[in-house]
Amino acid sequence: MLNDARQAEKDSKQTIQKHSANSLSLEKCLELYFPDNNFSKETLIQNTKDLELHFKNYFKKLENEKFPSKAKPYPVDYSIRTDSRLFLYVLCKMLKPNTVVETGVAYGQSSSYILQALKENNKGILYSVDNIFRPWESLGKIGDAIPQNLRERWKLVAGSSAEKLEETLRSKKTIDMFLHDSLHTYKNMLFEYNITWPFIKKNGFLISDDILENNAFLDFYSSVNGSPILMTSDQHNEIFLGIIRKK
């Protein structure tokens, strides 16, 4: 916790640079990456309505629980945004990955959207790297909300990304897709991007949540000459997901 606080304090002194990358909505992102398919947000919402209902019921049960506590170790608004979850779902549907790696799980909402696509593909494994970082957290609560029928293709790797990410990547040799959603500090984000990039296959994806809190994502894609897309909300044009396809 002290280490996290020190990194956050250092980040607060950064001058946040402006991204030069294109900002696109969910549907525009899908048009760019999959031009021969007619996706709509409404269709994706319909395809994942059972999953959305599952999470609505799960979080309703937590309404009267105190945060932070063993019963409610993460804030309920901790989860990745709706458009981001839908993008992860359709990306996995189209990419048909063998191996997906993510860092940061919390209750497992984004994990579940990936796993739903893997189940429908009947192919692929999601490796999730996460650990206990606070006294009120527990291994049993990591991914607690992931539906039982999706867990067959899920492997939790217990440990921090500093301890377990490179080991996990080397054991797979190559991966199709990486999602960063763990500690959002410059040091940790840049570490994860740099460690993971060599293992991503050609035409594979590196995706990062919370890219505006520091300059890590910008510095990374500048260093690898990446051509990122910044996904935005339709209503407020707020950037909330960074996407790089490896050429």
Q: Which two tokens stand for residue 196?
A: 């993971």
**Closest by alpha carbon to 130, among 60, 190, 179?**
179
Give the angle subtended at the CA of 83 by the CAs of 228 and 85, to the nearest 5°. Answer: 90
What is the tens place of the pLDDT at every residue in 134-158? 999 999 999 999 999 999 999 999 9
What pTM was computed for the model? 0.94
Q: Do you know the residue count of the chain?
A: 247
The per-residue pLDDT for 236 is 58
The per-residue pLDDT for 144 is 97
**pLDDT confidence bin for 237, thresholds 50/70/90:** low
The mean-pLDDT minimum among 25-29, 95-99, 137-141 falls in 25-29
Spatial distance between the Cα atoms of 125 and 152, rounded to a whole number of angstroms: 9
Query: DSSP string of 117-156?
Result: HHHHHT--EEEEEE---STT--GGGTTTTS-GGGGGGEEE
The per-residue pLDDT for 213 is 85
CATH class of 20-245: alpha beta
Structural domain boundaries in the chain: 20-245
What is the tens place of the pLDDT at every residue in 51-88? 999 999 999 999 999 999 999 999 988 667 889 999 99
Q: Is the confidence at residue 161, as pLDDT, over 90?
A: yes
**CB-based contact 247:227 (threshold 8 Å):** yes
Q: How many secondary structure helices (H) and strands (E) does the chain include?
A: 9, 8
Q: Is the confidence at residue 238, as pLDDT, over 80?
A: no
Q: Is the confidence at residue 104, as pLDDT, over 90?
A: yes
